A = this chain, B = another copy of it.
Amino acid sequence: MNKSSNTYWHAATITRPDRQKLNGHSSAILWFTGLSGSGKSTLAHAVEEELYRRKCRTTVLDGDNVRHGLCGDLGFSEDDRTENIRRIGQVATLFVDAGMIVLTAFISPFRIDRQRVRMMVEEESDFIEVFCDCPLEVCEQRDVKGLYQRARKGEISDFTGISSPYETPANADLIVKTAGRSVEECVADVISYLEDRGLIAKA
């Protein structure tokens, strides 16, 4: 639903190609999805670090920084998760228009929500779904934030993998297996993908 009638599009004079030219790379969303503890945020930040080294313009959006600001009014019910992902998708799109590579790290458990974000971008190929593939047992064993333990005790409701479903991507653009591998190996997977797609220059 769009209640905002009486508004018109402005043709921005500086275009996305202009920005990409200035930056020397393409813009896109790298959408990391996976269970809590699957390494999304760690990997997104580590990839950003490598991209920074290559003078690429990037930003990381993660559940933690967005949840305290833009989506601070939302909880973890299915509806709120959907609205959370919708807003993040829209913000990511603004970053893509601004010529940036935006790395998002959200569980984003529902296929339909991820699909909706893919539909928001100008070109479907601007949305790169990266599945951080890691068995639940491994995530639960890591349990960096102690959340699985609390979820098992019933102290947290709607916890993905325990009391709320995670829908594995059917057609991820990239699958990164994070169990039993180093962060560096995982980063290399993502960087190779970006190079092969021609989004960034080969090192």
Contact = CB atoms under 8 A, between A and B. Distances in A.
A58 B14 contact: yes
A75 interface: yes
Contacts of A60: 12
A22 B74 contact: no
A7 B98 contact: no
Nearest to A87: B70
Contacts of A1: 72-73
A10 interface: yes
A163 interface: no
Contact of A4 (B14, B68, B98, B150): B68
A116 interface: no
B70 A156 contact: no
A177 interface: no
Copies in the complex: 2
B61 A94 contact: yes
B4 A71 contact: yes
Interface stretch (A45-53, A126-134, A135-143, A188-196): A45-53
Interface in A1-30: 1-4, 6-10, 12-14, 18-19, 22-23
A132 to B, nearest CB: 15
Nearest to A53: B14
Interface string A144-158: 010100100000100
Given A70-B91, A90-B70, A52 B12 contact: no
A65 interface: yes
Given A52-B22, A70-B90, A90-B70, A10 B65 contact: yes
Given A2-B72, A14-B52, A95-B98, A7 B67 contact: yes
Interface of A: 1-4, 6-10, 12-14, 18-19, 22-23, 41, 45-46, 48-49, 52, 55, 57-76, 80, 87, 90-91, 93-95, 97-100, 120, 145, 147, 150, 156
